[in-house]
Amino acid sequence: AQKVTQAQTEISVVEKEDVTLDCVYETRDTTYYLFWYKQPPSGELVFLIRRNSFDEQNEISGRYSWNFQKSTSSFNFTITASQVVDSAVYFCALSEDSNYQLIWGAGTKLIIKP
């Protein structure tokens, strides 16, 4: 069965520290898609990245980077030089080609202290 685990319920760091949010997934499909979304206090879920199962290249976007490792079924998200505006709940999600429904992790609440 498909599943997404975000073991870190809450992380608190001081501004400018680097922080990594973990995401581990389970799926039997060979074709699947992984996502990260950010939910700031305003409530809207903001799309950050999509990765398909055939593309294991790591991605960097400014201070954000993602490490996709099929060998460990992980899709971790790192914020470099964190800022207070990064404070939010971050969700990892999985979808399989055989099922249109996104499977969500429980989310990690990230608190960046000034």
Partner 1 sequence: ETGVTQTPRHLVMGMTNKKSLKCEQHLGHNAMYWYKQSAKKPLELMFVYSLEERVENNSVPSRFSPECPNSSHLFLHLHTLQPEDSALYLCASSQEERGGRYGYTFGSGTRLTVV
Report the C-alpha dihedral over residues 101, 103, 106, 111, rounded to 10 degrees: -80
Task: Based on the shown chain and the rule CB under 8 A, indicate whether residue 7 belongs to the binding site for partner 1.
Answer: no
Cα dist. 17→14, 20, 24, 113 in Å? 6, 10, 23, 10
Q: Which is nearer to partner 1, 33 or 73 (CB)?
A: 33
Query: Mask of contacts with partner 1, 50-89, x by CB under 8 A?
Result: x---------------------------------------
For residues 101 and 1, the answer to whether their CB atoms sit within 8 Å is: no
Cα dist. 3→39, 43, 52, 85, 96 in Å? 20, 24, 16, 29, 11
Among 1, 30, 41, 47, binds partner 1 (CB under 8 A): 47
Task: Based on the shown chain and the rule CB under 8 A, indicate whether residue 42 belongs to the binding site for partner 1.
Answer: yes
Taking the complex as a whole, the smallest distance from the CB of residue 82 to partner 1 amounts, in Å, to 23
Task: Based on the shown chain and the rule CB under 8 A, indicate whether residue 33 belongs to the binding site for partner 1.
Answer: yes
Among 41, 43, 62, 114, binds partner 1 (CB under 8 A): 43
